Amino acid sequence: MDKITYYIWYPLIWLISLLPFPVLYALSDFLYWPVSIIGYRKKIILTNLKKAFPEKDDHWRKEILHKFYHHFCDLFVETVKLQHMSKKTIMKRITFSNIEVMEKAFENGQDVVAIMAHYGNWEYMPSINLHFKAQGYSVYRPLKSKGFDKYMLELRSRFGTGNVTMKNTLRKVVELRRSSTRFVLGLIADQSPARHEIQYWTNFLTQTTPILMGPEKIGKLTNGKIVFLKLNKPKRGHYHVDIIEFPNNVAEAAEHEITEWHVRQLEKCIRERPELWLWSHKRWKYQDVYEKDKKDGIKGTQ
């Protein structure tokens, strides 16, 4: 069934990707209306917003909801367009500042762990691979639909970036280090860890939240440069990324210091432009187990 579905939607998506940006954004504006009327994951989004911004009123939260819907529709057409986007176009659509931080790391024989989030258009991020000679890799969690997973991997590798599953990340890092290959490892760090993988809790957007420890663990393993990719959307269809360097020595960083640092970076981004974060997932689904973890002595629950 999955294969049949793939052969139905793939040709349609392929044709849409051929459309010029003005037509795609007209399509996005059209899609906004059914998404808004149906109320795509409205209850989840408003619940998340109420938890994250308890000081705001319902009017403000509904305003952010509809701004999110607009951005979400833009994100859809922009991602589809990647299939036929040239290097020249993508380099105009997303720009990077402070790229020299990464270049200096490569010159010093260091690798880079680049931390990001489901914020803005994260699917444009792999194009950072066009800006340096080191090999870029994106860490991903495989999708349930094999057809859609294959499609997304094709998009993410369009500009030479490799793809590594979360399960195989450590193995890949060891392999690259043994081969002396300089690399950038892109990690989306705002996903909820699986229940059995929770190792640390912290306060994030006023909520007690379990945080993935992968970025910190891999950063310490490589003893490389750790950066946060702070993304902004100056205008429709255009993004800018400010590369922010972890300010302290990675090897000497205290336990959870790196994790707390990138969590605060993301929190600041979300407070500045809340509509750009992916609110449609259940962000705080494990809060009911916090007290149990507190009894078990999980870090961050004291």
238 occurs within a structural domain: yes
What value, to the nearest 5°, has the Cα angle with vertex 212 and ends 39 and 249? Answer: 130
216 occurs within a structural domain: yes
193, 202 Cβ separation under 8 angstroms:
no
pLDDT score recorded for residue 294: 66
285 occurs within a structural domain: yes
228 occurs within a structural domain: yes
Nearest to 184 by CA among 139, 246, 146, 151: 139
302 occurs within a structural domain: no
Distance CA 241, CA 229 (A): 6
Number of domains in the chain: 1
User: In this predicted model, what pLDDT tens digit does every residue of 2-11 receive, in sequence order?
Assistant: 677 777 888 9
301 occurs within a structural domain: no
278, 118 Cβ separation under 8 angstroms:
yes
pLDDT score recorded for residue 154: 94
> Worst-scoring range by mean pLDDT, 86-95, 115-124, 214-223, 231-240?
214-223
User: In this predicted model, what pLDDT tens digit does every residue of 207-262 receive, in sequence order?
Assistant: 999 999 999 999 999 989 999 999 999 999 999 999 999 999 999 999 999 999 99
pLDDT exceeds 90 at position 143:
no
pLDDT score recorded for residue 1: 53
272 occurs within a structural domain: yes
Q: Give the global pTM.
A: 0.93
Collect all residues with Cβ–Cβ distance below 8 Å to 21 and sequence separation of at least 6. 81, 237
249 lies in which domain range? 2-296
pLDDT score recorded for residue 144: 87
